[in-house]
Amino acid sequence: MVTQPLKMPAHSRIIEQLVSSLQLKPFVLSLIILALTIFLIKRLFATSISQKKLPPSPSKVPVIGHLHKLGIYPHRSLQKLSHKYGPLMLLRLGSVPTLVVSSAEAAQEVMKTHDLAFADRPRLKLNEKLLYNYKDVATAPYGEYWRQMKSICVIQLLSNKRVYDTRTVRENETALLVMKIAECSPSVVDLSDLFMAYTSDIVSMSAFGRKFSEGESGRQFRRMMKEFVSLLGGFDVGTYIPQLAWFGTVTGLYNKVDAVAKEFDEFLERIVDEHISTSKREKVEGAEDFVDVLLQIYNDKSITGFSIDRESIKAIVLDVLAAGTDTTYTVLEWAMTELLRHPQVMKKLQNELRLNSRNKSDIIAQDDCEKMPYLKAVFKETLRIHPPIPLLVPREARNDVSVMGYDIVAKTMVIVNAWAIGRDPTIWDEPDEFRPERFLNSTVDIRGHDFQLIPFGAGRRSCPGISFAMVTNELALANLLHKFDWELPNGMKGGNLDMTETTGLAIHKKEPLLAVAIPYSI
């Protein structure tokens, strides 16, 4: 019996003939096998992605994705998109997948239920250059270093005790602010400029033990701070489209960032050296500034159980300066703007202040503000309508996670639209109206426990400086309304005030807030 040879499958014979006819060398065969492997992996990966349930997403443009949909004011553009695509929306900002959160329920899922999964920060090139390679608290990657640095801020620098210990600084600067305005009366005063100088002086006195608001050094400091904040909230196309990273070099963006980072570093180095050279001086209890406290930790590991270096000191101080000045004064600016637009609200607040202050002719003290519920309601309402950072500081998913039935893949950037949540009509009655009364019989607070009002974020990555910022703002506004009656220049009505916003990370009033102060007679 003759055994018939087995027939080879057609595709095998074709490959055999191809190899034989071309006499392929081993390395060429390896390349073919590698290419086929990559192809199969990509197919398998694409299949796995397609099987995931992703959040709704608008149609996108090649390369840029949805970048064109952000507009000049991203918080407003994203709110409009959320009306169509829902409270969880997936955008593609260039090559960066981005989850946009636009409701209190979705924010609670991200910042509480899955807080650990979203505890990281995206690596942005501008932050790397400006913030000592992410050594600050706000942008440091989630991990042991970040936990140590936040512990220092919360316990050593921004605890309730530390905030209370620096009350004399705030009360002294508030008295100076009142004096400056009284000297200008009845002329028009630029409140935006005064508020920036006021918060800058309080922060720099608390951080350095000195202030930089006057003279040439003051002008230099304000210029540096303005440039720093502007760059920190700037747009770097290379972050989202790596193929266009060269654009930052051509436009001079990276050179400008390097120059500002270098200038600020030299400034902070001088501050640290000055504190080291005078570290042995005697100080009264509670008089240490932030740099003093950080240098104590630097020199004595036993204080916290871990050590820090000079770059960490400078990075933390830079955080305190930028956040403490920029975001604090913008809240004060918007609060006064809304009061000038709503004279009846201003009058109601003045009645509370003037009836409850201990000494009618003296400065209202920090302790007095705790007894002023309408004052606190005014600030809550201001923060609801004008959160200082409308999109908060972006987060990043540390791992794959399911949120509200949708699959979110690791490394997805997360943007929480606090501005949209604060104006959600399903939560707030007449959300576009400035009505502080809504908070008088409400337990809703601003500290991240109530997700319908999260101007400072929530969870692990919430702002640790809430108490410092709010007592600073409350003290200033309370005294300005206690000491003066206010009106707009040239008979202008509140409804005619220009409410145009600036662009950037923190949103200010674009045009300076000008007003006339009339000393109040008892």
Q: Which is higher by pLDDT, 10 or 263?
A: 263
Is the pLDDT confidence value at 281 over 80? no
Is the pLDDT confidence value at 326 over 50? yes
Using only C-alpha atoms, the chain has a radius of gyration, in whole angstroms, of 28
Which pLDDT band, with edges at 50, 70 and 90, does 522 fall under? low
Place of tokens 């001088």: 270
Structure tokens at 58: 């608008």
Other CB atoms within 10 Å distance of the CB of residue 359: 9
Is the pLDDT confidence value at 127 over 60? yes
What pLDDT is stored for residue 217 in this prediction? 73
Is the pLDDT confidence value at 379 over 90? yes
132-146, 204-218, 478-492: the lowest-pLDDT one: 204-218
Which pLDDT band, with edges at 50, 70 and 90, does 3 fall under? very low
Other CB atoms within 10 Å distance of the CB of residue 460: 17
Is the pLDDT confidence value at 2 over 60? no
Output DSSP code: residue 518.
E
The closest of 447, 148, 483, 188 to 304, measured between CA atoms, is: 148
Structure tokens at 433: 């109206």
Q: Which domains does the chain have, with CATH numbers?
A: 117-388+423-519 (1.10.630.10)
Is the pLDDT confidence value at 100 over 70? yes
Is the pLDDT confidence value at 151 over 80? yes
User: What pTM value is reported for the model?
Assistant: 0.87
Is the pLDDT confidence value at 319 over 60? yes
Return the percentage of the chain with pLDDT > 90, whole number.
70
Structure tokens at 414: 């997360």
- Structure confidence by residue, pLDDT tens digits, 51-61: 789 999 999 99
* Cα angle: 62, vertex 64, 65; to 5 degrees: 70
Is the pLDDT confidence value at 20 over 60? no
What pLDDT is stored for residue 157 in this prediction? 84
The closest of 408, 438, 406 to 422, measured between CA atoms, is: 438
Q: Decide if 458 contacts 387 (C-beta within 8 A).
A: no
Strand partners, 190: 514
Is the pLDDT confidence value at 330 over 90? yes
Is the pLDDT confidence value at 39 over 70? no
Please, is 201 exposed, middle or buried when counting C-beta atoms within 10 Å of its C-beta (0-12, 13-18, 19+)? buried
* Cα angle: 125, vertex 131, 132; to 5 degrees: 95
Instruction: Tell me the average pLDDT across 166-180.
Output: 94
The closest of 342, 378, 337 to 500, measured between CA atoms, is: 337
- Structure confidence by residue, pLDDT tens digits, 335-361: 999 999 999 999 999 999 998 876 656
Is the pLDDT confidence value at 4 over 60? no
55-59, 72-76, 150-154: the lowest-pLDDT one: 150-154
Q: How far apart are CA 107 and CA 109, in angstroms?
A: 5
What pLDDT is stored for residue 306 in this prediction? 83
What pLDDT is stored for residue 30 in this prediction? 53
Place of tokens 């033990």: 209
- Structure confidence by residue, pLDDT tens digits, 202-243: 999 988 888 877 777 777 888 888 899 889 888 999 999 999
The closest of 437, 521, 520, 517 to 177, measured between CA atoms, is: 517
* Cα angle: 200, vertex 266, 505; to 5 degrees: 45
What pLDDT is stored for residue 504 in this prediction? 85
Q: What is the mean pLDDT of the chain?
A: 88
Q: How far apart are CA 416 and CA 117, in angstroms?
A: 15
What pLDDT is stored for residue 22 in this prediction? 44
Q: Write the secondary structure of 66-96 as one string of H (helix), E (strand) and C (coil).
A: CHHHCCCCHHHHHHHHHHHHCCEEEEEECCE
Q: Decide if 111 contacts 458 (C-beta within 8 A).
A: yes
How many residues in the chain? Answer: 522
